[in-house]
Amino acid sequence: MAFVYPVLVFAGLAFAIGVGLALASRYFHVEGDPLADKVDALLPQTQCGQCGYPGCRPYANAVAGHEVAVNHCVPGGERTMLAIADIMGVEPQAIEEEATAPVVAHIREDECIGCTLCIKACPVDCIIGAPKQYHTIISDHCTGCTLCLEPCPVDCIDMVETPELLEHWSWPVPGTKRAIKAEKRKGKHDAQGELSV
Amino acid sequence: MFDLWEKIKQTLPMGTSAGFTGGVVHSNQHKRTAGQAIIACPLPELLIHPVKQHIGDPCEPMVEVGERVLKGQMIAKAQGYISVPVHASTSGTVEKIEEHTIPHPSGLGLTSIFIKPDGLDEVDESLHPLPNYRSVDAAELRERIRNAGIAGLGGAVFPTFVKLVKDQKNPIETVILNGIECEPWLTCDHQLMLEKAHEIISGMDIILHLVGAEKGIIAIEDNKPDAVEMMQKTLQEMGLNEHVQVQVLPTRYPQGGEKQLIQALTGKEVPAGQLPMHIGVLSTNVGTSKAIYDAVCLGEPLTERVITVSGDAAAKPSNMLVRLGTSMHFLLEQCGVSSFEDIKVMHGGPMMGELLSQDDVPVVKGSNGILAMQKRSIMRAHFDEEPCIRCGDCGDVCPAGLMPNLLASHCKENQFERAEDYNLFDCIECGACSYVCPAHIPLVHYFRYGKGQVAQIQREKAFAEESRIRSEKRDARLAKELAEKEEKRRIAREKKEARAKALAEKEAAEKAVVDKDSAEQASAEQTDKPEVKADDKPAEDKA
Ligand code: SF4
Ligand code: SF4
Ligand code: SF4
Ligand code: SF4
Ligand code: SF4
C-alpha cells in the first residue's frame, strides 16, 4: 500500500496546480494579442495597404500570427523591418521596394468638384469638405498613403514632397559627403590619368 | 560608508585643478586678435534680420514693406514663451520681407526683414532708461530684458529672461559671470571685459538684484591677467567687491561650458537632464551682461554685438562691433578677405563652430566668432578619417565623462538606442574628442548625426501614434455608422414585419369575418341570391 501516498500527493498537487493555472488564466487574462500590439506599435501607421493588408493593424495581426513575412511594410523601411524581426525572433529579410521620399497629398482646390469620394477613402480622416464644396487636406495629419488619389473622378489630388523644415533638419552622416567628394576627386584623378597617357 | 567616500575624495587629488575632468589645453598663438581694441564695423548697404535668432519659437514680423523704421525699433514680436523680439539695428526703410539663408549648417532659409539704411541712425526712444534699477520691480526688469531681445550672447542664444526668475523652490544663490572665452581663437569677451568693465559689472548687479542672489563670481581664465585686474579694479571702484569675487581658473577647454564652469567654481555638478537653476546657480556670459546693462540703464535694445573675425584667410583679423543683420561677406571684407572663392566661412569658434554654405548670410545674435578658413586647411581636417586605434585619448579629454569612441561606433552603425544608453545626450558637442583623435575621426559630427536621428525617430513615432489614434477613431466611427445603419434597418425591418403581421392579422380577421359572412350568406343564400345578383349587375355595367 506504500504507493498510495505518492499517488495521492501527486494527484493532489496536480489538482492544485490545475486550479491555480485556471484561475491565473482567468484573472491575468490580457485582451487582444500582446504580440500584435507590439508589432503594431512599430509600424509607421501610414495605413497605405502596400503590405497587402487593409491597414497596419491587420498586417500586425498577420505578422504576429506568423502568416506573413516581416518585410512587407514599405514605408517602414529597413529600420522597422529589423525591429519587427527582432521581436518576432526571425531572420531579417530584405525589403523589395524602395521607400520613397516623404510626401503629403494636396488638392488643387479650384478643380475639385466636391464629390466627397476622397473623404471616404482617407484612413486618418484628414480631408475636410462637404458635398459640392472645395475639399482640402490637413497636411499635418496626412500620412501620404495615396489612397485618396484613385477615387478622385477629376484627378485633382497631387502628392507633394514635404518641405524640409529648419527645426527638423538634422546633421547628415559624416561619411557620405566625404565619400561623394572623394569619389569626385577620384573621377578627376582618373580623367587626368587618361589625358596624360 | 558615504562619509568614508567623501574623505577619500578629499585626500586624493581627484579630477584636475580645472575642477572638471578631461579637457584640452590650446596654445595662445592662435589668438591673433588678442589685445586688439574693438573697432566699429561701418554701416552696410543692406541689413537682413532673420525672424529667429534665438533658441525657441520664431518671431512674427510687425512692420510693412516700405515702412520707415528707427534704430532699436521692434520689427518682429515674440511668439510663445521662449522667444525674444528682433529690433532694427539702424534707421531706414523696410525693403522686403522674404526668405533668406541664415547662418545654419543646413544652409536653409528663414523669413527675414530687409532694411535699407538711410544713414541717419535715428534712434527709437520708446524704452526709457531705468538707471535706478535697484528701486524697480523685478517683474518689470524682466519684461524689459525680454523686450530688449536679449538672448545668451555666448553662442547658445537661449532667451535670457527665462533664466531670470525668483523661484521660491530653487532660490538662486550664486550668479556666475562667464568671462572664460569659450573658444580658443576668440577674444571678443576678453576685449569687452577690458573696454566695458563698468557696464558688465552693472549688468551683473542688475541680475543679482533681479533674482535676489547675494553672491556673484566672475570667472576668468589665467591667460587673461589684464582682464582679471580690470575687473577687480572696477569692482573696487563700484564698491561691489564684498559680494562679487573674481576667480581665476586655469586655461583649459571647454572651461567655458556652462556645466563645466559651474562644477569648477562651486564643486556642484548639474545633474543630467537638469538646469543650473535647479542647483541654485545662474550663469551668464559677459556680453549678455553688458546687453542687460544697455537695455535697463540706457534703454537700448540688443542691436549690435562684438564679434571676433579671424581665420587663416583673414588678413586683418579684428574684434569688431557689428550691427546685427550685417552681411558676413561685408564684414569679412573689412577684415581683409578679398575673394570668397577658395574660403569657407565658419560661424562660431574653431572647436564648436559650424561651416556655412557658400551663400552670404547675416550676422545674428549668436555670432560670437566668424572665421574665414582656406578651403584646403578645412579639407585636410575633414577628409582623412581612419579606423579607431582604441587609444582612449577621446575618453580622457571628454568633460562629460563619456566614451566617444564607443558612442561614435554606435552612431555609425545606427544603433541609436545603445548610443543613448551610453549617454549620447550628455555630450555638449565641445569637440575636444575630435580635436585629440589621432585617427582624425569626426567624432562630434557623429554625435550630432546621432542626436538628429534620435529626434527624427521620436518625431516619426509621435506621428505614427497620432495616425494610429486617428485611424482607430475612424474605424470606430465607421463601425458605429454601420451599427447605426444596421439598427435602423433592423427597426425598419421589424416595423415592416409588424405591419405585415398586423396586415396579415387584419386580413385573417377580415377573412374570418368574410368566412363567417359567407357562411351566413351561404345559409341565407337561398333567400338572398336573386337580390345579390341584382346588386352586382349594375356595378359591372358601370365599370
Ligand atoms: S505597408 Fe506598412 S504602413 Fe502601409 S498599411 Fe501596411 S503596415 Fe501600414
Ligand atoms: S489625404 Fe490622402 S494621402 Fe493623405 S492620409 Fe488621407 S488618403 Fe492618405
Ligand atoms: S475626390 Fe477629388 S473631386 Fe471629389 S471631393 Fe475629393 S478632391 Fe474633390
Ligand atoms: S564632443 Fe561630446 S563626447 Fe566629445 S569630448 Fe565633448 S562632450 Fe565629450
Ligand atoms: S581618440 Fe580616436 S582613435 Fe583614440 S580611441 Fe578615441 S576614437 Fe579611437
Separation of CA B458 and ligand 1 centre (Å): 19
Q: What is the pLDDT of residue B14?
A: 37
Residues with Cβ within 6 A of ligand 4? B 397-400, 402, 404, 427-433, 443-444, 447
Which strands form B68-69's sheet, in the order they lie side by side?
B47-50, B109-117, B92-101, B68-69
C-alpha pair distances (Å), B420 with each of A66, B226, B435: 32, 43, 23
* Mean pLDDT, residues B284-288: 93
At residue B9 the predicted structure's pLDDT band, cuts being 50, 70 and 90, is: very low
Same domain, yes or no, for B405 and B292? no
Same domain, yes or no, for B136 and B37? yes
Q: Are B274 and B159 in contact (CB under 8 A)?
A: no
Q: What is the pLDDT of residue B523?
A: 63
Decide the pairing of beta strands B74-77 and B86-87: antiparallel
At residue B524 the predicted structure's pLDDT band, cuts being 50, 70 and 90, is: low
Name the region of B71 (left: φ>0; alpha: ψ -120 to 50; beta: rest): beta
The pairs formed by B235-243 with CB atoms below 8 angstroms and a separation of 24 or more are B235/B201, B237/B198, B238/B198, B238/B201, B238/B202, B238/B205, B240/B201, B240/B205, B240/B216, B243/B208, B243/B214, B243/B215, B243/B216
Query: Higher pLDDT residue, B496 or B540?
Result: B496
A59, A80, A81: which to mutate for ligand 1, most atoms within 8 A of CB? A59
* Mean pLDDT, residues B75-93: 93
Task: Please tell me the distance from the alpha carbon of residue B309 to that of residue B38, in angstroms, as a whole number.
Answer: 11
Q: What is the pLDDT of residue B433?
A: 92
Q: What ligand 3 atom has the least distance to the C-alpha of A155?
A: 2
Q: Residue A181 falls within a domain, yes or no?
A: no
Q: What ligand 2 atom has the least distance to the C-alpha of A122?
A: 7
Instruction: Output phi, psi for B5, to 5 deg.
Output: -60, -45
What letter would DSSP give residue B159? B
A56, A109, A140, A146: which to mutate for ligand 2, most atoms within 8 A of CB? A146
Q: What is the pLDDT of residue A156?
A: 92
Same domain, yes or no, for A157 and A114? yes
Q: Are B293 and B144 in contact (CB under 8 A)?
A: no
**In chain B, what percentage of residues exceed pLDDT 90?**
47
Q: What is the CATH number of the domain that holds A42?
A: 1.10.15.40
Same domain, yes or no, for A114 and A139? yes
Choose the final residue of a domain: B337, B372, B407: B372
Residues 6+ apart with CB under 8 A from B496: none
Same domain, yes or no, for B251 and B160? yes
* Mean pLDDT, residues B39-48: 92
Q: Residue B100 falls within a domain, yes or no?
A: no
CB contacts, 8 Å: B471 with chain A: 45, 47, 55-57, 123-124
Q: Which among A123, A174, A175 has the least Cβ separation from residue B471?
A: A123
pLDDT < 70 regions, chain A: 99, 175-197
**Among the ranges given (A21-25, A177-181, B366-370, B511-515), the one the predictor scored with the smallest mean pLDDT:** A177-181
Q: Residue B98 falls within a domain, yes or no?
A: no
Per DSSP, the three-state class of B434 is helix
Is B453 at the interface with chain A, CB within 8 A?
Answer: yes
Q: What is the CATH number of the domain that holds A148?
A: 3.30.70.20
At B405, the amino acid letter reads N
Cell digits of residue B178? 562667464
| B139: exposed, middle or buried (Cβ count in 10 Å: 0-12, 13-18, 19+) | exposed
Residues with Cβ within 6 A of ligand 3? A 107, 112-118, 129, 135, 151-154, 156-157
At residue B269 the predicted structure's pLDDT band, cuts being 50, 70 and 90, is: confident
Q: Are B381 and B347 in contact (CB under 8 A)?
A: no
Same domain, yes or no, for B357 and B221? yes
Q: What is the pLDDT of residue B440?
A: 83
**Residue listed under C-alpha cell 497605405:** A48
Q: How many domains does chain B have?
A: 2
ipTM of model over 0.95: no
For residue B306, list its beta bridge partners: B321
Task: Please tell me the distance from the alpha carbon of residue B266 to that of residue B412, in angstroms, as a whole number.
Answer: 37
Q: How many domains does chain A have?
A: 2
Cell digits of residue B280? 541654485
At residue B382 the predicted structure's pLDDT band, cuts being 50, 70 and 90, is: low
Residues 6+ apart with CB under 8 A from B92: B47, B68, B69, B115, B116, B117, B118
Q: What is the CA radius of gyration of chain A?
A: 28
Which strands form B304-310's sheet, in the order they lie side by side?
B39-40, B318-323, B304-310, B369-374, B343-347, B354-355
Burial A91-109 (b: 16+ CB within 10 A, else e): eeeebeeeeeeebbbebee
Q: What is the pLDDT of residue B344?
A: 87
pLDDT digit string, tens, across residues B461-508: 999 999 999 999 999 999 999 999 999 999 999 999 988 888 888 888
CA B513 to chain A, closest CA, distance in angstroms equals 55
| A126: exposed, middle or buried (Cβ count in 10 Å: 0-12, 13-18, 19+) | buried
Asked if the Cβ–Cβ distance from B110 to A166 is below 8 Å, we say yes
What letter would DSSP give residue B294? I
Instruction: Output phi, psi for B293, to 5 deg.
Output: -60, -50
Instruction: Note if the bond before B438 is cis, omega within 30 degrees.
Output: no
Q: Residue A113 falls within a domain, yes or no?
A: yes
Instruction: Output phi, psi for B304, to 5 deg.
Output: -150, 160
Q: Residue A1 falls within a domain, yes or no?
A: no
Task: Please tell me the distance from the alpha carbon of residue B453 to that of residue B447, in angstroms, as a whole number.
Answer: 10
**In chain B, what percentage of residues exceed pLDDT 70?**
90
pLDDT digit string, tens, across residues B175-234: 999 998 878 888 999 999 999 999 999 999 999 999 888 889 999 988 889 999 999 999
Same domain, yes or no, for B346 and B403? no
Beta strands in B118-258 (DSSP E): 174-178, 215-221, 244-249
CB contacts, 8 Å: B110 with chain A: 166
At residue B277 the predicted structure's pLDDT band, cuts being 50, 70 and 90, is: confident
Q: Are B325 and B89 in contact (CB under 8 A)?
A: yes
Average pLDDT, chain B: 85
Is B464 at the interface with chain A, CB within 8 A?
Answer: yes
Q: Residue B229 falls within a domain, yes or no?
A: yes
Q: What is the pLDDT of residue B5?
A: 42
C-alpha pair distances (Å), B251 with each of B168, B190, B220, B369, B394: 36, 13, 9, 19, 19
Range of the domain at B423: 393-452
Same domain, yes or no, for A45 and A80? yes
Q: What is the CATH number of the domain that holds B295?
A: 3.40.50.11540
Q: Is any atom of ligand 2 closer than 6 Å to the C-beta of A144? A: yes
Q: Are A59 and A51 in contact (CB under 8 A)?
A: yes
Task: Please tell me the distance from the alpha carbon of residue B369 to that of residue B424, in angstroms, as a whole number.
Answer: 27
The closest of B221, B214, B287, B285 to B19, measured between CA atoms, is B221
What is the sign, positive or negative, of the torsion defined by CA atoms of B474, B480, B481, B482? positive
Q: Please name the residue of chain A whose CA is at the shortest distance from the CA of residue B385.
A: A175
Q: What is the pLDDT of residue B207?
A: 93
Is B536 at the interface with chain A, CB within 8 A?
Answer: no
Range of the domain at A114: 103-161
Cell digits of residue B216? 556673484
Decide the pairing of beta strands B369-374 and B304-310: parallel
Q: Residue B119 falls within a domain, yes or no?
A: no
Q: Residue B4 falls within a domain, yes or no?
A: no
Same domain, yes or no, for B272 and B418? no
Same domain, yes or no, for B305 and B172? yes
Q: Residue A47 falls within a domain, yes or no?
A: yes
Same domain, yes or no, for A83 and A112? no
Kindly report the number of other CB atoms within 10 A of residue B96's CB atom.
Answer: 13
At residue B522 the predicted structure's pLDDT band, cuts being 50, 70 and 90, is: low
CB contacts, 8 Å: B465 with chain A: 45
Interior angle at CA B436, CA B433 and CA B438, nearest 5: 115
Q: Residue B78 falls within a domain, yes or no?
A: no
C-alpha pair distances (Å), A194 with each of A152, A174, A182, A185: 56, 31, 18, 14
Cell digits of residue B71? 534704430
CA A164 to chain centre: 22
DSSP-assigned letters across all residues of B356-417: --SS--B--TT--EEEEEEHHHHHHHHS---------HHHHH-TT---HHHHHHHHHTT-HH
